[in-house]
Amino acid sequence: MLGKEKKAIYPKRYYRAIISVIALFFFSVSCLAQSLSQQARQIQAQTYYQEGKRLVHSGNIEEALGYFQKALLFDPTFIPLYNEIGIIYTLKGWPERAKEMYLQAITLDPNYAPAYANLALLYEEEENIPQALQCWKIRASLGQADDVWTKVARQRVQELAEAYPGVYEKVLAGQYPLEKPGGLSWQPSQTSPEENYSSEVKFVRPEKVTLFADEKNSSSSLSSPSSVIDYIARAKAYYEQGKYVEALREATIAEYFDPTNREIVVLIQQIREAILE
């Protein structure tokens, strides 16, 4: 046996340690690759989102929607995307699709305030008083006291509670939970809203506050310069009449399409100050 090298003998635990180190190395590399891939997807989603916003402001709603939807494919956790898509669906006259987007947003983040306000406006449009009240109540609890939409939400809770006291009590008791994406937790009866709530109405029903009441299926008419001017004119008229919530509604739509318009910015500030007085 002379002349032959003697093989080194290592304990089994030595080999197990080597294998563990190698496995840990490849696991770390895999995690890093996944992290980088996720970061790349988020960056791409942000790029599509910004382009969609630019297209909205230039009046190209259809193309903007396409970019928002692409962004959502890259990052399904990008909450503001659901809100933007919901707004466009509402403008196009697709309330059920819009509702689904807003509900997805608050499922991902129960404290995402804008979606509650948009949902409340949709529910008021549908005469779905329980769900509108529920959304306004939650929205009122989320914002700062001097936040204009917190003020609007509190105002609507008070007005709807006075008009539908029985419904309000049931909402407070948790009998009308908020809807969930993909299915309704509250189904309205087949009777008309007037028949549904007539026994509970003590006051004249307040005028509905809806951001998109006049907007139907045509996206081409929504963003023309003349329509923006019309929104500004209506906002000013409501402001002069002391109808500040309605004025804010019209001015907000104008701002959505033309966010750099100084006249709109000043008008909105005036309306907010009037609401908060």
DSSP string of 12-80? Answer: HHHHHHHHHHHHHHHHHHHHHHHHHHHHHHHHHHHHHHHHHHHHHHTT-HHHHHHHHHHHHHH-TT-HH
Q: What is the pLDDT of residue 143?
A: 76
Burial of 192 (C-beta count, 10 Å sphere; 0-12/13-18/19+): exposed
Q: What pLDDT does residue 198 have?
A: 35
Per-residue pLDDT at 207: 36
pLDDT value at residue 110: 93
Q: What is the pLDDT of residue 51?
A: 92
Tokens standing for residue 202: 């003590």
CA quadruple 95, 99, 102, 108: dihedral sign: negative
Rounded to an integer, what distance in angstroms lies between the CA atom of residue 231 and that of residue 255?
A: 9
The tens-digit pLDDT sequence of the chain (277 residues) is 444 555 555 566 665 666 665 666 555 545 544 555 778 888 888 998 999 988 887 778 889 899 999 999 989 999 999 999 998 888 788 889 999 999 999 999 999 999 999 999 889 888 899 999 999 999 999 877 777 788 888 888 988 999 899 999 999 888 888 888 875 433 323 333 333 333 333 323 333 333 433 333 333 344 455 577 888 888 898 888 888 777 887 887 777 667 778 888 888 888 877 765 5
Is CATH 1.25.40 correct for 79-181+196-214?
Answer: yes
